[in-house]
Structure 1
Amino acid sequence: MAVATMTAGEAYAAISSGAAIAGARVEGVLDFSVQSGRPWPSHFPEDLEVDVLNVAGQPIESLPRGLKTYELDLRDTPIVRLPDGLEVRSRLDLTGCDRLESLPAELTVGTLILRGCVALQAISEHLSVWFLDLSECWAFERWPQNATIRGGRLQLRGCTALRELPPYITRLSALNVRECPNLRSLPPDLVVTGWIDLAHSGLTDEEMLPVGVASAQLRWAGVNVDRRIAFHPEEIRIDELLEERNAERRRVLLDRYGYGRFLQDAAAELLDADVDPGGPRQLLRVKLPDDEDLVAMSCFCPSTSRQYIIRVPPQTPTCRHAAAWIAGFDDPNDYRPLIET
């Protein structure tokens, strides 16, 4: 029996009228995203094949059975799980699906984007992808026993619960483990042919990098760095930092040098000082060549007595203004905490 083929326009009309088009093939983009203004139909046809289906932002919690697409956009939907048998050949985007708990087993897709899926703790068995983005999946901690990541880019930024990479990941074009503090080792057979971003990860010593990663370009927060900056920040000199003309590279040098150490070694100017429940506060400034002034507030946590150095906008005039800005207030008169912990 021949499969009925229709345009996106014909599909819109048929779906809105309730016509039976189950099993049909839709050519082009079927756009039911919130931005399109079209409501998600109460009865979406099953066994539908669509080139591109966009339902971004719709309040849907499930998908129809038998769906086949080339690209599927589910960004910012409250979907909890995807149906078994779902077929997405090229790109599946689940960015911001903060209720997503599981993926179908044996999912095969070119690019899988799970950025910000904060409820996702594990991915499915026998997953097969080229490019995988798990950025800001805070709860993610369990890899499947069997899966294939075919040498593409693996984005893991902000996976704070992650402790390891599985041994079957052996070759990648790029690896981002920025802000993965509990990741303290990589598979011994891993080869990274492009770059690895290890800013604020648990990979704090170059001996932690396997031989196959040794020739990869190191990055710190997106900026190319050498091994000295990545692993030996104590060797960075204050004059080197102050004379650096590239703003992005200076930002990295500051991050590695440490704001507290920098303010002290650069003889920061005291702009303001007062006392809050945590103790003394200071607003300090260092003028930077060809860049805006670095202004930061030194303060102490009332509960732990731990000192914090927090950068604030360069035009900040007082500690009180700085504290308000840190708390999200533009007007310090609106910031009146009853108690600070």
Structure 2
Amino acid sequence: MNTRHSATAAAVAPSSGVERHKPGLLERFTDHFQRYWQLWVLSAPALVFVAIFAYVPMWGIQLAFRKFDSARGLTGGEWVGLHYFEQFFTSPLFGEILWNTFRISLWTLVTGFIFPIILALLINQIGSSKVKGFVQTVTYMPHFISTVVIVSMLNIFLDPNNGFIGKLFGDESLLGSTTAITAVYWISEVWQHCGWNCIIYLAALSSVDPSLYEAAKIDGAGRFQLIRYVDFPAILPTAGVLLILQMGSVLNVGFDKIYLLQNSLNMPATEVISTYTFKIGIQSAQFSYSTAIGLFNTIVNFVFLITANAISKRVSNSSIF
């Protein structure tokens, strides 16, 4: 009897008194790799590309905290800490540059987020598949026009003397106006990319169960009710994720376009962080200073991304991480 009791106790003891071994990160990765090694092999080129061109260059971030010395390389300069950040924050141009960047970015972000949704909802209501395909093709074709061509078109169309749009505003040059240049920028951005950006919303709408439309029509729903109660909820999760991703680049005004639109008249309204960094880093060869400005820009974008993700996760339970 005692022998049986001892054997039972010995069998129960390991499960009750000894904690089970939890596999570490390396063990879990090894097990995952052994199970799905084919997928890892397929992903290897992309992982190597990201590592080389996204993570390895991060080594140069320390240049923002060092005085650049061409003879000693990126890591050989004198350590100056936050000197270049303080130089940027105390610069007379800091407030103007930051305000220009926020103003242009937020206008572009808001309009570039809303109008593709509206366009996708309108295209989805077109009954004829041929007309729908034609409208979709026409609207996303401007996406493939290069930025240089777009700026050239703006200069021609908005010319106060010969441009058919510029003539409507008299002698005032829209490209030389500090108040109108922001509208010119975001309107041209929406026109160029609205059709392309709405494709993902059309894909989300295509997955809606047709029985939902039939049930709504039986209940007497019109077109606006169909959009409000069927289409809009279907694209809301997709819109939330895209908004989070766009918030991560809220200060990244497209350098090429805004730089090409700049002139001596609109400079006070078009000097943004990206153009200022280019002029400081490339034209003036102040590499440490420009690196500090770029790092500040990245940190602000990262904060916006984390904040937008947290708010979206709390409000709509949709997030990217």
Q: TM-score normalised to the size of structure 1?
A: 0.20
Ranked by relative contact order (alpha carbons within 8 Å, sequence separation 6 or more), the top structure is: 2
Q: Whose helix fraction is larger, Structure 1's or Structure 2's?
A: 2
Greater strand content: 1
